[in-house]
Amino acid sequence: MVTRDQVIEVLKTVEDPEIFLDIWFLGLIYSIDIQEDALSIDLTFTTPLCPAGPMIVDEVKTKLLKLEGVKTVDVKVVFTPPWQPSDEVKAMLGMI
């Protein structure tokens, strides 16, 4: 069975194409649920109207399905709570 750490390592390879930072570092992943050969991921976007949203979801699914033992990946896009960047992300983006 795939581990949480393996999933996180894959998520670190998915970049927001507008910000050029990975979705794990950005804090866009809200939950990871592993049930034998099925993964369920809750993620958000930096903005509800993120033009890259569908591309990010597709990339998450495609990459996670390559993990040995993973047969299904369900990615749910959620906006509650709204994304709040960490101080580290804010600093990197010049927000503070």
CATH code at position 18: 3.30.300.130
What's the whole-model pTM score? Answer: 0.93
The whole-number pLDDT of residue 96 equals: 83
93 belongs to a structural domain: no
| CA of residue 31 relative to chain centroid, distance | 9
91 belongs to a structural domain: no
The DSSP 8-state label assigned to residue 31 in this structure reads E
User: Quick check: 92 pLDDT over 90?
Assistant: no
The CA distance from 3 to 74, in Å, is 16
* Collapsed DSSP state (helix, strand, coil) of residue 39: strand
* Contact predicate 26/46, CB 8 Å: yes
For residue 47, which amino acid is it? T
Q: What is the pLDDT of residues 23-51, one digit of tens each?
A: 999 999 999 999 999 999 999 999 999 99
Residue 15 C-beta-side C-alpha neighbours within 13 Å: 5
89 belongs to a structural domain: no
